[in-house]
Amino acid sequence: MSTEFQVTFDARDPKAQAEFWRQVLGYVVPAPPGVELAPGDDVWAAWEEALERFNVPQQRRNAQSAIEDPEGKRPRVFFQQVPEEKAVKNRVHLDVRSAPGLRGEERMAALEAEHDRLVALGAKRLRREEPAPPLSFGFIVMADPEGNEFCLD
């Protein structure tokens, strides 16, 4: 039997990182405890109201954030605020599967299209690795807004 796990990012701005990765992965921000949101309600406003009600000091209101798979199948992603800046290359990264089943130029075109979408969200391109079959079908290395590397694969 497999073990359930959560992916945790250290972050300077947990809310901004959660919003970026929410859009990358198609995840959702969970509602605050005890709050039922109607379709179209602003989850971030709901969190702000809840934190006020919970008497969380203003300086701690961006200490953590999370996103979840709306289908409940994939790992939860948690963002925790840390005081230090990212200093070195991350040793673990996410491979965002953006072209499943595609090969060659069709694959690379799909990766480039996703690249363009993510750059508009604040990501940065680091490099493109061309296909080298049979061991690599090509990928694009990127960085999120805080410099954490990930691959479009």
Long-range Cβ pairs for the range 104-113 (8 Å, 24+): 104/131, 107/131, 107/137, 107/138, 108/138, 111/138, 111/139, 111/140, 111/152, 111/153, 112/140
- pLDDT, one tens digit per residue, over 128-149 is 999 998 889 999 999 999 999 9
Asked whether residue 77 carries a pLDDT value surpassing 90, the answer given is yes
Q: For the residues 107-132, what does the mean pLDDT come to?
A: 97
- pLDDT, one tens digit per residue, over 20-36 is 999 999 999 999 999 99
What mean pLDDT value characterizes the chain? 94
Q: How many CB atoms lie within 10 A of CB 24?
A: 22
pLDDT for res 87 = 81
- Run of H or E residues at 111: helix 104-121
% the chain with pLDDT above 70: 100
Q: If pLDDT is split at 50, 70 and 90, which confidence band does 86 have?
A: confident
Q: For the residues 54-74, what does the mean pLDDT come to?
A: 95
Q: Determine how β-strand 76-81 pairs with β-strand 6-11.
A: parallel
